[in-house]
Amino acid sequence: MTATDPVKLMKQEVGKAAALLVKSGSIVGLGTGSTTAYTIQYLGDRLKSGELKDIVGIPTSFQSEVLAKEYGVPLTTLDAVDHIDIAIDGADEVDPQKNLIKGGGAAHTREKVVDYLASQFVVVVDSGKLVDRLGSVFAVPVEVIPMAITPVTNAIKQLGGKPELRMGVKKAGPVITDQGNFVLDVRFDSIDDPVNLEKILNNIPGVLENGIFVNCADVVLVGEVVDGQPVVRQL
């Protein structure tokens, strides 16, 4: 089925383009979000047609696990493999140095584990995700263990951030991550040094992981619509 909404169309094309990069016999990191949902679907299609064989996926969330099962992509765990050949994952912001903000789906902790382990990390985004500077549009998601939410909130305010507890949709109360934690979405006036900010945030006791991904992406595929037609280019 082909999407008609332009953003969905971009996500579909770029998700499919990334699925075509996967070779038979690969161990594949399966990202989270609406773009990688298309990747997982196309991986399943390629497996069903016999064009692709013997791949196993490592999911980065319950969402990607459920989708992989739905589309027939066999799964494994990090305990059973010694490497990941390729990881394909979305992002909420991408800067010109290929630094990312991730975690729109509150999956950034598992995503960071899988994406950093991969020999090749391919990012799939629609063109609306490209920014000159991280933090321009999207807040930085920070996963926090629940008992530390107050001191972590205070520490982030001391750093000049504006934290907001992420609330559930169709669920009363805060979002609970796949690990059972809370997420603070933190706005900063300007992120001048993402490398340093990533470390500083992770050094606050009670923080599990934040959504700044630096020096990690190998390839960024960008979906665009040109003259009404979806095209994919490499950043």
Ligand X SMILES: O=C(CO)[C@H](O)[C@H](O)COP(=O)(O)O
Catalytic residue among 65, 111, 209, 224: 111
Q: Which is nearer to ligand X, 87 or 106 (CB)?
A: 106
Task: State in angstroms the smallest separation of the CB of 91 from ligand X.
Answer: 6
Are the CB atoms for 107 and 211 separated by under 8 Å?
no
Task: State in angstroms the smallest separation of the CB of 107 from ligand X.
Answer: 4
Number of residues that bind ligand X (CB under 6 A): 17
Helix axes 6-19, 34-49, angle to 10 degrees: 50
Tokens of 12: 């579909």
- Scanning residues 35 to 74, which ones bind ligand X (CB under 6 A)? 35
Interface map 110-139 toward ligand X (x if CB under 6 A): -x----------------------------
> Residue 29 phi/psi, 5° resolution?
-75, 125
Task: State in angstroms the smallest separation of the CB of 162 from ligand X.
Answer: 20
Asked if 223 is part of the footprint of ligand X (rule: CB under 6 A), the reply reads no
Q: Which is nearer to ligand X, 98 or 102 (CB)?
A: 102
Tokens of 86: 């390729």
Q: Measure Cα distances from 2 to 5, 38, 60 in Å.
A: 9, 11, 25
Which is it for the CA torsion 166, 38, 29, 98, positive or negative?
negative
Residue 130 has what DSSP assignment?
A: B
Distance CA 120, CA 16 (A): 17
Are the CB atoms for 102 and 90 separated by under 8 Å?
yes
The question of whether 198 is a catalytic residue gets the answer no
Q: Which is nearer to ligand X, 46 or 143 (CB)?
A: 143
192, amino acid identity: D
31 is in an annotated binding site: no
Interface map 94-113 toward ligand X (x if CB under 6 A): --------xxxxxxx--x--
Q: Measure Cα distances from 60 to 86, 111, 203 in Å.
A: 13, 5, 23
Interface map 8-37 toward ligand X (x if CB under 6 A): -----------------------xxxxx--
* Residue in 29, 44, 57, 90 binding ligand X, rule: CB under 6 A: 90
Tokens of 223: 């979906």
Task: State in angstroms the smallest separation of the CB of 6 from ligand X.
Answer: 14
Q: Which is nearer to ligand X, 56 or 91 (CB)?
A: 91
Q: Which residue is it, tokens 């773009």?
A: 35
Are the CB atoms for 95 and 131 separated by under 8 Å?
yes
Q: Which is nearer to ligand X, 106 or 204 (CB)?
A: 106
Annotated binding site for substrate: 32-35, 89-92, 102-105, 129
Which residues are known catalytic residues? 111
Q: Which residues bind ligand X (CB under 6 A)?
A: 31-35, 89-92, 102-108, 111
